[in-house]
């Protein structure tokens, strides 16, 4: 079976890629293309060949479903297909609509001509997966559009639309409508040309770029720094070497990167995000309008997220003043985006026009989806949901943005718990892509499916989770912060802990992070949970004492650090050191020298052990969901693939041994997760 079909339009052969959803270049597609080219070349009645894609686009590149399977390396390989095209004396035209990405664009670069629709997306985004293009892209693109433009696209995984592709010389012409018609029409214009351009036969490109400077400018903190440098090397080779040698070097760089832990981690996340975002079922309630209850930090961001995606949003507040404040903040955020040149004034006006403020609850009656983002207090949330139950139309989805409260209890305040769900956005909600979709015990499947789809529609990465204290992300944070506080008492300084975790790769250290999100929120949660806290367990009073002094983090210019007004730079504060020493004395702890390794181990292993419990309890559907949450929502380094992937890279046996050692030294908090113990006992390498 092949998934590229051969047709004839009088004297033009048409090879149609047909491998939904994105015409990935799997083994059967490559075979179909190779056989089709061979047949067209041999057929005297054929004078030109058009390659086009069926469905959504030309081709999205490698068939990701075949990654790590023998089919990925089955012959003919992509470079052999491209070689067959380049050897053809008959012109081959790539007619691109939708997208030509990665291997899809490399295939098109093997063709003599490329024609595009103006809105098609073209690019070589391999560095996003910690790789370089492996099908000749780094050698042919510079020869076609020049080194500077090619390097810009490849190193930064930048895509261009069809119109820009024509301007860059990446495409020869634009067409409207059906790609086969567009390709065949163009073919007729070149049939009688004496020869046809073959990029692969061109001399090396002119070296118009300072490659050493480009390499030096790569941020060492970039998740794919190695791949970026690899891309620069490859493009440099395209200026020095004949094509075949350049292709060999590109292949070598690709092979090296593909085996690196960084690329494995980034590819793991790529799949993890796609798996996580899949709606579990086919249910779909129409959602055409949205309402947000509460115009505070989160409500404003959520309203923007929907308005940005084209949804009309009604924003309800209890009083005029907070409503005005909320709307003013939304306006200011849009202005900032405009000032950065990311949005035109027209676009801002359109987006703002979609947001309708109101003080009248009945104004949300027609919304298909209502998201509550009022104060984090159960009685207030329940009262809001009772009101919503009274006014909202039947079938409306009633969502809460609560970070920690029990969704089932909120749902029980309504007469329609099947319509209630948690949509836990992260701050700033218009920017952060993670969304924990929290299913209650009685949430209807259809409501879950619809919520997952809507999330994807507004550009979020949803992860479906069940109700538990803190859901996935904040629940794991509890142990992570606990260890940071214990380490403070045992002898580490806030800056030492933050430096260690930042060097590990976290976007910021745990204490800087708690200053940013506000210490008061967790203080309230600790007070709420105090009655259920087992009294025999160690408890650090450090964060409570800091809060008792009115130090709530950046918003009060003081927390674990102090801050100059209007400046977010954390400054070490002797007053905090004093609190820590006092707490250590009271707890009878002898302070000691703490190593960086101990800091990293204790903070990261706390995440892993709790993550394993979350997997075991079925709070998530799979271990990789935990990775998505932590990388997208909590600044865990993507190049380490998330905490669960990191445990696998380290070795589950080594991870467990370290946890057991901590258990022996520090007791109950470190009881190894049973799932981890079982996995190691069974000799498994992942959870
Ligand atoms: P906020 O204090 O900034 O905003 C809450 C808003 O709700 C205020 O404008 C208030 O006037 C309004 N409000 C209170 N009672 C109301 C009522 N009965 N009807 C209508 N409006 C009412 O709080 P924030 O930070 O936006 O948090 C809101 C919710 O989002 C909380 O449940 C919180 O736990 C959750 N959340 C917060 C995150 C954060 O980083 N701030 C992250 C994720 C979730």
Main-chain dihedrals φ then ψ at residue 293, nearest 5 degrees = -105, 115
Are 408 and 496 found together in one domain?
no
Domain end, chosen from 472, 487, 509, is at 472
CA of 94 to the centre of ligand 1 (A): 52
CA of 190 to the centre of ligand 1 (A): 63
Are 448 and 507 found together in one domain?
no
Atom of ligand 1 at shortest distance to CA of 316?
Answer: 20
Spatial contact of 81 and 110, defined as CB atoms under 8 Å apart: yes
Nearest CA to ligand 1 atom 44: 403
Domain count along the chain: 3
Are 162 and 215 found together in one domain?
yes
Beta-carbon contacts of 44 under 8 Å, excluding residues fewer than 6 positions away, are none
Q: Which of 299, 301, 514, 522 to mutate to test the pocket of ligand 1 (most atoms within 8 A of CB)?
A: 299
pLDDT value of position 528: 87
Range of the domain at 417: 290-472
pLDDT value of position 685: 92
Please determine, for residue 9, whether its predicted confidence score (pLDDT) is greater than 70: yes
Q: CA–CA separation, 229 vs 262, rounded Å?
A: 13
Q: Which of 298, 389, 515 to mutate to test the pocket of ligand 1 (most atoms within 8 A of CB)?
A: 298
Calculated CA dihedral for residues 343, 349, 350, 353, nearest 10 degrees = 140
Q: CA–CA separation, 347 vs 540, rounded Å?
A: 50
- Mean pLDDT value of segment 492-520: 96
CA of 452 to the centre of ligand 1 (A): 22
H or E stretch at 217: helix 211-217
CA of 423 to the centre of ligand 1 (A): 13
Q: Which residue has the tokens 């992570």?
A: 480
Are 254 and 232 found together in one domain?
yes
Q: Which residue has the tokens 């003081």?
A: 558
Residue 635 lies in a domain: no
Q: What percent of the chain has pLDDT over 70?
A: 100
Are 139 and 156 found together in one domain?
yes
Spatial contact of 330 and 346, defined as CB atoms under 8 Å apart: no
* Tens-place pLDDT, residues 339-358: 888 888 999 999 999 999 99
Please determine, for residue 386, whether its predicted confidence score (pLDDT) is greater than 70: yes
Are 340 and 404 found together in one domain?
yes
Q: Which of 37, 173, 55, 199 is nearest to 114 (CA)?
A: 173
CA of 532 to the centre of ligand 1 (A): 25
Q: CA–CA separation, 117 vs 97, rounded Å?
A: 5
Are 529 and 415 found together in one domain?
no
Is pTM, for the whole model, over 0.90? Answer: yes
Residue 192 lies in a domain: yes
Q: Which residue has the tokens 């933050």?
A: 498
Atom of ligand 1 at shortest distance to CA of 325?
Answer: 9
* Tens-place pLDDT, residues 20-37: 999 999 999 999 999 999
Residue 273 lies in a domain: no
CA of 391 to the centre of ligand 1 (A): 21
CA of 295 to the centre of ligand 1 (A): 7
Listing from the earlier edge strand, what are the strands of the sheet with 48-53?
A: 4-9, 12-17, 48-53, 92-96, 113-116, 173-174
Residue 266 lies in a domain: no
Are 431 and 565 found together in one domain?
no
Long-range contacts of 299-302 (CB under 8 A, 24+ apart): 299/326, 299/371, 299/373, 299/374, 299/401, 300/326, 300/327, 300/329, 300/330, 300/333, 300/429, 301/333, 301/425, 301/427, 301/428, 301/429, 301/430, 301/431, 302/371, 302/373, 302/401, 302/425, 302/429, 302/430
Q: Which of 315, 317, 374 to mutate to test the pocket of ligand 1 (most atoms within 8 A of CB)?
A: 374
Domain of 379, CATH number, reads 3.40.50.720
pLDDT value of position 604: 98
Residue 270 lies in a domain: no
* Tens-place pLDDT, residues 242-263: 999 999 999 999 999 999 999 9
Please determine, for residue 66, whether its predicted confidence score (pLDDT) is greater than 90: no
Pairwise pLDDT comparison (131 vs 337), residue with the higher score: 131
Domain end, chosen from 421, 438, 472, is at 472
Residue 64 has which token pair? 């990701």
Spatial contact of 579 and 561, defined as CB atoms under 8 Å apart: no
pLDDT value of position 202: 95
Nearest CA to ligand 1 atom 15: 374
CA of 95 to the centre of ligand 1 (A): 50
Residue 319 neighbours by CB distance under 10 Å: 9
Q: What is the DSSP letter of 319?
A: S
Residue 612 lies in a domain: yes
pLDDT value of position 395: 97
Nearest CA to ligand 1 atom 36: 403
Residue 382 has which token pair? 């329940």
Residue 198 has which token pair? 């073959």
Atom of ligand 1 at shortest distance to CA of 381?
Answer: 18
Beta-carbon contacts of 683 under 8 Å, excluding residues fewer than 6 positions away, are none
Atom of ligand 1 at shortest distance to CA of 299?
Answer: 26
Q: Which of 297, 315, 326, 428 to mutate to test the pocket of ligand 1 (most atoms within 8 A of CB)?
A: 297
Residue 445 neighbours by CB distance under 10 Å: 14
Atom of ligand 1 at shortest distance to CA of 402?
Answer: 32
Cis peptide bond upstream of 562, omega within 30 = no
- Positions annotated as catalytic residues are 106, 126
| Residue 2: band (very low, low, confident or very high) from pLDDT cuts 50, 70, 90 | low
pLDDT value of position 343: 86
Query: Which residues surround ligand 1 with Cβ inside 6 Å?
Result: 293-299, 316-318, 322, 326, 373-376, 380, 384, 401-403, 424-427, 517
Nearest CA to ligand 1 atom 39: 427
CA of 296 to the centre of ligand 1 (A): 5
Residue 589 lies in a domain: yes
Domain of 518, CATH number, reads 1.10.1040.50
Nearest CA to ligand 1 atom 42: 426
Question: Which 3-state string (H, E, C) describes 584-644?
Answer: HHHCCCCCCCCCHHHHHHHHHHHHHHHHHHHHHCCCCCCHHHHHHHHHHHHCCCHHHCCHH
| Distances 159 to 154, 165, 233, 344 between C-alpha atoms, Å | 9, 9, 20, 20
Chain centroid to CA 236: 30
Q: CA–CA separation, 509 vs 609, rounded Å?
A: 19
Are 241 and 338 found together in one domain?
no
Atom of ligand 1 at shortest distance to CA of 300?
Answer: 26
Per-position DSSP letters for 331-370, written without gaps between them: HHHHHHHHHTTSS-HHHHHHHHHTEEEES-GGGGTT-SEE
Nearest CA to ligand 1 atom 25: 297
Please determine, for residue 299, whether its predicted confidence score (pLDDT) is greater than 80: yes
- Report the chain's mean pLDDT, rounded to a whole number: 96
Q: Please, how many CA atoms are within 13 Å of residue 94, restricted to the half-sphere of its CB? A: 31
Nearest CA to ligand 1 atom 9: 296
What SS3 state is found at 445?
helix
Beta-carbon contacts of 579 under 8 Å, excluding residues fewer than 6 positions away, are 542, 545, 546, 549
Spatial contact of 277 and 455, defined as CB atoms under 8 Å apart: yes
Are 203 and 295 found together in one domain?
no
Chain centroid to CA 558: 32
CA of 360 to the centre of ligand 1 (A): 18
pLDDT value of position 511: 98
Residue 276 lies in a domain: no
Spatial contact of 192 and 198, defined as CB atoms under 8 Å apart: no
Strands 420-425 and 397-400, by their bridges, are parallel
Q: CA–CA separation, 486 vs 450, rounded Å?
A: 42
Q: Which of 373, 384, 402 to mutate to test the pocket of ligand 1 (most atoms within 8 A of CB)?
A: 373
Nearest CA to ligand 1 atom 12: 294
Residue 292 has which token pair? 């947000």
Q: Which of 49, 187, 189 is nearest to 110 (CA)?
A: 49
Are 500 and 453 found together in one domain?
no
Domain end, chosen from 445, 472, 499, is at 472
Spatial contact of 232 and 225, defined as CB atoms under 8 Å apart: no
Give the chain's radius of gyration (CA, Å): 28
CA of 462 to the centre of ligand 1 (A): 21
| Residue 1: band (very low, low, confident or very high) from pLDDT cuts 50, 70, 90 | low
* Tens-place pLDDT, residues 78-120: 999 999 999 999 999 999 999 999 999 999 999 999 999 999 9
Alpha helices (H) along 443-557: 445-457, 473-490, 494-504, 510-517, 519-529, 542-548
Please determine, for residue 640, whether its predicted confidence score (pLDDT) is greater than 70: yes
Task: Report how many helices (DSSP H) and strands (DSSP E) the chain contains, helices first.
Answer: 28, 17
Q: CA–CA separation, 444 vs 525, rounded Å?
A: 29
Strands 369-372 and 290-293, by their bridges, are parallel
Are 449 and 484 found together in one domain?
no
CA of 294 to the centre of ligand 1 (A): 6
Residue 19 has which token pair? 């491998």
Domain of 171, CATH number, reads 3.90.226.10
């Amino acid at each position: 079976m092949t998934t590229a079909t051969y047709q004839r339009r009088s004297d033009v052969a048409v090879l149609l890629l047909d491998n939904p959803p994105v015409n990935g270049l799997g083994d059967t597609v490559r075979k179909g293309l190779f056989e089709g080219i061979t047949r067209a070349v041999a057929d005297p009645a054929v004078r030109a060949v058009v390659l086009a894609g069926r469905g959504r686009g030309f081709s999205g590149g490698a068939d990701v479903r075949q990654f790590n399977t023998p089919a990925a390396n089955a012959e003919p390989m992509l470079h052999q297909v491209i070689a067959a095209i380049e050897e053809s004396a008959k012109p081959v035209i790539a007619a691109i609509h939708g997208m030509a990405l990665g291997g899809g664009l490399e295939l098109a670069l093997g063709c003599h001509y490329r024609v595009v629709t103006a809105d098609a997306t073209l690019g070589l985004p391999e560095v996003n997966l910690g790789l370089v293009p492996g099908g000749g892209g780094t050698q042919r693109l510079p020869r076609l559009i020049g080194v500077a433009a090619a390097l810009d696209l490849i190193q930064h995984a930048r895509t261009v639309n069809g119109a820009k592709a024509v301007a860059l010389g990446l495409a020869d012409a634009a067409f409207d409508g059906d790609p086969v018609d567009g390709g065949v029409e163009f073919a007729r214009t070149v049939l009688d040309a004496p020869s046809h351009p073959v990029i692969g036969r061109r001399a090396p490109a002119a070296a118009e770029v300072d490659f050493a400077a480009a390499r030096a400018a790569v941020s060492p903190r970039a998740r794919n720094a190695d791949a970026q440098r690899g891309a620069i090397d490859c493009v440099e080779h395209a200026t020095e070497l004949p094509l075949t040698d350049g292709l060999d070097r590109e292949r070598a760089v690709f092979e090296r990167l593909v085996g690196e832990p960084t690329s494995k981690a980034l590819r793991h996340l790529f799949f993890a995000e796609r798996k996580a975002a899949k709606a579990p079922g086919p249910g779909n309630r129409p959602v055409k309008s949205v309402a947000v209850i509460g115009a505070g930090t989160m409500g404003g961001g959520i309203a923007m997220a929907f308005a940005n995606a084209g949804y009309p949003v009604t924003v309800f507040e209890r009083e005029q003043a907070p409503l005005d404040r909320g709307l003013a903040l939304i306006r200011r955020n849009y202005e900032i985006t405009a000032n950065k040149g990311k949005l035109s004034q027209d676009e801002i006006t359109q987006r703002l026009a979609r947001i309708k403020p109101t003080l009248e609850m009945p104004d949300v009656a027609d919304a298909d989806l209502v998201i509550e983002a009022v104060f984090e207090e159960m009685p207030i949330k329940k009262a809001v949901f009772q009101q919503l139950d009274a006014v909202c139309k039947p079938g409306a989805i009633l969502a809460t943005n609560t970070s920690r409260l029990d969704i089932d209890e909120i749902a029980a305040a309504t007469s329609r718990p099947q319509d209630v769900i948690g949509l836990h956005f992260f701050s700033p909600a218009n920017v952060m892509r993670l969304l924990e979709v929290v299913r209650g015990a009685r949430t209807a499947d259809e409501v879950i499916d619809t919520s997952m789809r809507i999330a994807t529609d507004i550009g979020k990465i949803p992860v479906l989770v069940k109700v538990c204290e803190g859901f996935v992300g904040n629940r794991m944070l509890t142990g992570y912060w606990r260890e940071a506080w214990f380490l403070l008492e045992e002898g580490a300084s806030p800056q030492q802990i933050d430096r260690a975790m930042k060097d590990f790769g976290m976007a910021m250290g745990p204490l800087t992070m708690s200053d940013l999100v506000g210490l008061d929120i967790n203080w309230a949660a600790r007070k709420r949970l105090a009655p259920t806290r087992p009294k025999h367990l160690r408890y650090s009073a450090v964060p409570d004492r800091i809060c008792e002094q009115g130090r709530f983090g950046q918003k009060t210019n003081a927390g674990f650090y102090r801050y100059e007004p209007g400046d977010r730079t954390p400054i070490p504060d002797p007053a905090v050191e004093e609190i820590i020493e006092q707490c250590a004395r009271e707890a009878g702890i002898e302070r000691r020298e703490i190593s960086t390794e101990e800091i990293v181990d204790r903070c990261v292993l706390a995440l892993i052990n709790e993550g394993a419990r979350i997997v075991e309890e079925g709070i998530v559907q799979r271990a990789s969901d935990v990775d998505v949450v932590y990388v997208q929502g909590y600044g865990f380094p993507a190049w380490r693939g998330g905490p669960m992937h990191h445990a696998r890279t380290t070795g589950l046996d080594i991870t467990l041994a370290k946890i057991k050692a901590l258990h022996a030294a520090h007791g109950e908090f470190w009881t190894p997760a049973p799932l981890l113990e079982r996995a190691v006992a069974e000799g498994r390498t992942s959870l």
